[in-house]
């Protein structure tokens, strides 16, 4: 098993996901997204499909001492029409099987990133984003796109529209548990997607975010 990245304290390592991890990855998904609709959660059979379709794009974080898988991310290659960015998550990822993966796609699409709740606060999402960006550089892709879940919006949706919420998060006036982290990783907001997924924590909205590879012209 080749180590892609190691945390500063040496406790955690990022590796490419492997078939024997599939059940652990399913458990992380379920724990990380307790309010996501059951038919949109990734399950064991989905992770096995990801590894057949695009093994390079599947990352896992392991705790070195225990060998436990505690976080993971899922990506595929795609082409992006920025003039028509609206989409539903489940359709883009082919019902979570990633069979829409385009081997010639010039952008990486972030289908998922999750950290088990027991292991939050250790910078594991940062490690996964580093692994994703390293892959983008290695493949010479234009960058990374994803549908961020504004998970804090559900609690305030009766107080403000989604557009105002996102603006406040971008300006740093509000902190969102997902979007704020991605903004710190260098992502920019491109637009807001309605009916992106089925999850009351974000009011079913997604925020289309973009990270451009500084070594490649993206337009």
CATH number of the domain residue 161 falls in: 3.40.630.30
Number of domain units in the chain: 1
Confirm whether 123 is domain-assigned: yes
- Whether this model's pTM surpasses 0.75: yes
Q: How far apart are CA 47 and CA 96, in angstroms?
A: 8
Closest CA to 178 of 137, 155, 150, 138: 150
Confirm whether 93 is domain-assigned: yes
CA 96: distance to chain centroid? Answer: 13
Cβ proximity of 54 and 101 under 8 Å = yes
pLDDT digits (tens, 9 = 90+) for 49-79: 999 999 999 999 999 999 999 999 999 999 9
Provide the domain limits for residue 47: 3-212
Confirm whether 28 is domain-assigned: yes
- Give the pLDDT confidence score for residue 168 in this predicted structure: 98
Confirm whether 27 is domain-assigned: yes
pLDDT digits (tens, 9 = 90+) for 144-200: 999 999 999 999 999 999 999 999 999 999 999 999 999 999 999 999 999 999 999
Confirm whether 43 is domain-assigned: yes
Confirm whether 136 is domain-assigned: yes
Largest CA distance in the chain: 49
Question: Which residues are bridge partners to 76 per DSSP?
Answer: 109
Confirm whether 219 is domain-assigned: no
């Amino acid at each position: 098993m080749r180590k892609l990245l190691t945390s500063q304290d040496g406790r955690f390592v990022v590796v490419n996901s492997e078939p024997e991890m599939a059940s652990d990855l399913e458990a992380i998904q379920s724990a990380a997204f307790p309010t996501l609709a059951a038919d949109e959660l990734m399950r064991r059979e989905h992770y096995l499909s990801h590894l057949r379709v695009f093994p390079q794009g599947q990352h896992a974080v392991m705790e070195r001492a225990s060998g436990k898988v505690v976080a993971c991310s899922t990506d595929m290659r795609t082409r992006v029409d920025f003039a028509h960015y609206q989409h539903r998550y489940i359709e883009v990822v082919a019902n979570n099987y990633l069979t829409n993966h385009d081997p010639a796609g010039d952008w990486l699409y972030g289908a998922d990133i999750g950290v088990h709740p027991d292991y939050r606060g250790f910078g594991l999402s940062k490690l996964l984003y580093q692994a994703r960006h390293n892959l983008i550089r290695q493949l010479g892709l234009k960058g990374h796109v994803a549908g961020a879940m504004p998970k804090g919006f559900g609690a305030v949706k009766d107080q403000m529209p989604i557009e105002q919420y996102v603006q406040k998060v971008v300006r740093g006036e509000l902190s969102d548990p997902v979007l704020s982290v991605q903004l710190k990783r260098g992502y920019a907001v491109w637009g807001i997607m309605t009916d992106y997924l089925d999850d009351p924590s974000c009011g079913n909205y997604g925020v289309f975010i973009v990270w451009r590879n500084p070594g490649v012209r993206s337009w």
